[in-house]
Structures are given as C-alpha cells and as structure tokens.
Structure 1
Amino acid sequence: MSTDFQTARVALGVRLRELRTEAGLTGRELALMLAWQPSKVSRLEHGKQTATKTDLEAWAAAVGAASTTDDLFARLRNLETQHQSWRRQLSAGHRGVQERIGAEQQATQTWRGYETSVIPGLFQTPDYARSVFLHGSNVHQSPQDTEDAVRARMKRQDVLYEPGKTFRVLVWEAALLVLLCPREAMAGQLDRMAGLIGRDNIELGIIPLGVPIASTTKHGFWIFDESRVTVETISVELRLDAAEDVELYGRVWDKLNEAAVYGAQAHRLIARARSSLSA
C-alpha cells in the first residue's frame, strides 16, 4: 500500500473520529446505532480499513452531520486517487519502474491509450526510448540507468505478441513531429509505427493536427481493462480506480477516437512526418 494512500486513509479516519466525538458518542455507542462491530468503527477511525460510500453516508447520518456527506465522499475520492511521486519512483533509476509496469501489464487484457507528444512506450524503438529516458533522468535528476531501462522497456513489449491482448491506442499527430531524439532515430521510430498498422490486436489511430475535436487534448492517459486509469504528469503518476473516473476517461477517449484516422490515412500522416525529417 502506498504511503500516499495510507496517509489519505488516516486523514479520513481522523475526520470520522472528530464527527463522532462532536456528537458526544463513544465508539461502542456509534457501532450499536449502525449495527456494526465496535472493531469496525475503530479500524475506520485509525485508517486500518477503507470506508465505502455507504459507510460514510451511514456515519454522517448517525452522528447528525448529514451535511458533511459530500465532504466525506470527496475525501474518499482523494484516497482512491493514488499519487505516485516520480521523485520517489525514480530514486534508483528507470529500470525498476519499467519492471513494475511490465509486471502489472501481465494481468491486463485490453488497453485504451492516448498520447499527446510522445510515442507510447509499448511502441518505442530502443533508440527513441534511450532519448526519452535520458530526458527523464535530466529533468528528475535521477540515476541514469539508461541501458538497463531500455532493455526493460523492450522486454515489456513482449506483451504485444501475447494472445488475447488488445491495444487500442490514439496518438496526436504532434507526437510524430516532436524531436525527442536525433532525426535518424526518429525516422526509425516512425517506420516502427507504420509497421504496427494492420496488426490484428493493435488499433493505432492518429489524430490529425487541425481536425475538429469534441474534447481537449490536455494530457495522455491509459485505461486498463476498463477498471483503472493512469495519468502521468511531470511530477506524479496518478492511478484512478473510482468508477466515475474510469467512465469519464472512457468518454474522453471515445470523443478523441471520433477524430482519429486509421489504416491508409494514418500511414499517410506517418509518411508525411517522416518526410519532414529531411526537409
């Protein structure tokens, strides 16, 4: 369990205890009112058990503080949103992060992803990935275990060839044009992207620059088995598993997908980006 998650759960417990004591109730009295075991009240107040929305609603009603229900729900959402600091994750370099992601993706069957300015890691060539990791190390001032990280990322790509796995990925055309690596490496990366089009288990859509869209292209995100979402910001990795968050990101992906092109049209955009490298 992450430190951030536990800290948020303890904070929620403190607030629950405040509401109980303000109502002049003991833990046993509250448990009796709710038909709970006294140990459940104690576990919730000490951050040793995660409350459900039903628990919070019942608690607020029992202590005569129904008006605090929305606040408690918001605290629960904050708890469910796990913030994984990149500084902490990269303290020993990128390799460990890649191996952790690789282990997690073994349990995933369907990916829906969207990237705005970088080629998705699952589709990167070694040369492109090398540049990405070097940039990341410089920004976060983390250890440069670049070659180990590249090997770990390439190993992660074995999942592309496993039966039963489906990848539905959207990339904004800008990602084909941003030079995060030398031009020769970018040419190889674009060739790799073109080669993925037409694969049975990969749906690669490109969102053209200038096309009307029904949703903003704020940041990249990935939806795993329609059950959780990850979002990478500059400082943290967000892990969202609340049903409403997963549904929200699913709707945004659907809107972006309406603007994407596939097949021959996607090939033409990749070819145009490649030709610009020699301009």
Structure 2
Amino acid sequence: MSSVQEARAALGALLRELRQNATFTVRQLAEVLGWPHSKVSKLENGRQTPTETDIRVWTQATNAEHETDGLLARLRTLEFQHVEWQRQLTSGLKSHQVKLTELNARTRFFRVFEPTFVPGLLQIPDYARFRFEQSGRVFGVRHDIDEAVYTRIQRQEILYRPEKRFHFVLTEAVLRYRLCPAAVMLGQLDRLVSLSMLPNVKLGIIGFGVAYDVAPSHGFWLLDDDRVMVETFSAELNLAQPQETELYGRIFAQLATVEGISYGREARSLITKAAEQWTTYLPER
C-alpha cells in the first residue's frame, strides 16, 4: 500500500468504528443518510475518499460529533497527499502554477527525474503551451493557458538564484518523444543546452544504451528532504513521510549515478544528436 491508500483505509476504519459503536448495520446507516449502501461500504473500506460533508453527516448520524474535527484533520492530510487533477484544475491551470511558485520559493535543493517530458522549470514557452494544451484536452480546462504559460516561465527565475541548487536527470527518450512540433522541440533542446551550463544546475541524461539499476517507472520531484511530488494522469501525489522521502532520495541517487549516465559535454552531445534527428521532421521549404 502507498501512504495515500493507507491513510484512506485508516480513515475508513475510523468511520466503520463509529457506525459499529452506534449499532448500525451498513444498510441501516445508508438509509439514515439517504445514501446507497455501496457508498458506506466504499468509504469504510478505503475505496472512496469522503468529503467534509460526508464526515459531518456521518458523525451526526452516529452521535459522534466530538470526533468530527479529528476526522476532518485526517481528511485534509489525505487531500494534501492525493489531489485529483479534475478538482485541482477547476480554478484553472494558472492557479496550480501559482501554488508551485510558492512551493519552489521555499525549496533550496531540487532533485528531479523525468522519463517522458522536459520538466516545467526547463521548458520554453511553446513547449509549455503544448503540455498545458494536453491537460486541457484531458480535463476540459482551456480558458487560461496563456496565463499558465506566463506563470510557469516566471517560475524559472529561481534557476538564477545562487542559493538554489538543481539536479535534473532525464532519459534520452525525453529528447526524442514527439510531444510537440519539430520547430518547438529544436528550441527546447537549445534551451536545455544553455541551462546545463548554469553553475547551480546539474543535468544528467540517461542514454538508450545505459543498463538501469532501477527501472524508470515514473517521474518525480524531490524537494529538499521534505516532499516528493509524483504526477499521475488523475492526480498529484505529495509524499512527506520520512521513509518515503528517504526511499526516493535513494532511488534518485541510483538513477543519477547509474553507470553510463552523461553529464556536461557528454549530455550536451546527446542533446545535439537528438536535435539532428528533429531537423529531419521539419517541413521542407
């Protein structure tokens, strides 16, 4: 179980305990609340996350209103760990970028692994636009793409702060996946070359020929030693338990030092070779 699943299961177990203490069966409580009995079962078994309203009516129905604040605190912790994109993006794409800006301002050491696309802090505006347009197509949020792009590019100002350190590890696939037009990707690759020369930025590229010690299952951001951020198609996971940050720290260290990884001139050489391939995709003049 992930910590998110564990937290949801633990919250469900507490709700079940309140129901049992009130001597309700699942069906009886469902009737009192006017819910399908399947909802009560899903909440108790951690297959569904309750809302604040769900918790309030549950504790009221089971005469356990003194437990409400504690359960709500657990729910908010769970929501910090698992934030569904559909809910997070209801206020638009820009608002999430603003939250990230505030989080980045507090972070001094960034360790980032990405196997699929260029990390946001390294993106050029046109590449960022294609990333946001993809999210827009999936979640139907398209009204503030310009503002989101602008805010993401503003975030990159922190790359030039000497007190900040950045270590990015990308797979060679990031340089070659066709996620945007060739002209955009050529500009993006040029940007990677430039940023790799900043004194506080370390950029590693794991080439296709490298044998992995740890499979590149998914991307993640390790912010100081305090938080790991993982993006899935449906949600953003925020992992903050010490055992989780320590685990991801070890995984990042293994990926960042895998035999054959390229840094400096070797990394820029891989980027240049990828750019040469991208020129073949440009439309003929």
Fold agreement, TM-score > 0.5? yes
Instruction: State whether residues 111 and 224 of structure 1, in contact with CA within 8 Å, keep that contact through their aligned partners in structure 2.
Output: yes
Quote how far apart the aligned CAs of 1:93 are.
2.1
Deviation of 1:217 (Å):
0.6
Structure-1 residue corresponding to 2:71: 47
**Which residue in the other structure is 1:270 paired with?**
271
**Alpha-carbon spacing, 1:16–1:227, altered in 2? closer, same or farther (3 Å):** farther
Task: Supply the distance in 2 between the matched residues of 1:203 and 1:190 (Cα, whole angstroms).
Answer: 16
Query: 1:242: which partner in 2?
Result: 241
Over 3 Å counting, the alpha-carbon distance change for 1:88 and 1:79 in structure 2 is closer
Partners of 1:12 and 1:47 within 8 A in 2? no
Paired residue for 1:191? 190
Residues 157-204 of structure 1 show CA distances to partners (whole Å, capped at 9, x for unaligned) of: 111112310111111110000122211111010000001123111111
When structure 1 is superposed on structure 2, of 139-148 and 180-189 the one drifting more is 139-148
The residue aligned with 2:231 is: 232
The DSSP-based 3-state class of the residue aligned with 1:204 is: strand
Distance 1:264 1:203 in 2: 12
Q: Which amino acid aligns with 1:132?
A: R
- Indicate conservation of the 8 Å contact 1:127/1:185, yes or no: yes
- 1:149–1:79 Cα change, 3 Å: closer
Give the partner amino acid of 2:71: G
Q: Which residue identity does 1:188 align to in structure 2? A: G
> C-alpha distance in 2, partners of 1:8/1:163?
43
2:262 maps to 1:261: yes
Shift in CA distance, 165/19, structure 1 to aligned 2, threshold 3 Å: farther
- How many residues align? The count is 231
| Contact in 2 for aligned 1:166/1:202 (Cα 8 Å) | yes
- The CA distance in 2 between the partners of 1:98 and 1:17, in whole Å, is 39
Q: Which residue of 2 aligns with 1:25?
A: none
**Identity level (%):** 36
Letter in structure 1 aligned against 2:271? I
The answer on whether the counterparts of 2:225 and 2:245 sit within 8 Å (CA) in structure 1 is yes
Please give the alpha-carbon distance, in whole angstroms, between the structure 1 residues aligned to 2:127 and 2:265.
Answer: 24
Shift in alpha-carbon separation, 1:7–1:212, aligned structure 2, 3 A: closer
Please show how residues 83-102 of structure 1 align to structure 2 within 5 Å: 83-102=82-101
Deviates more, 1:127-136 or 1:185-194: 127-136
User: Cα offset for 1:106?
Assistant: 0.7
Q: Provide Cα deviations, 1:94-144, integer angstroms capped at 9, x if missing partner.
A: 111111111111111111110011000000001111111111101222233
User: 2:217 — aligned with what?
Assistant: 218
| Cross-structure match for 1:115 | 114
Q: RMSD of the alignment, in Å?
A: 2.8
What is the alpha-carbon distance in structure 1 between the residues aligned to residue 195 and residue 201 of structure 2?
7
Quote the Cα distance in structure 2 between the aligned partners of 1:144 and 1:261: 40
With normalisation by structure 1, the TM-score equals 0.75
Residues 169 and 19 of structure 1, relative CA distance in 2, 3 Å threshold: farther
Residue of structure 2 equivalent to 1:130: 129
Structure 1's 80 and 150: CA in aligned 2 closer, same or farther, altered over 3 A?
Answer: closer
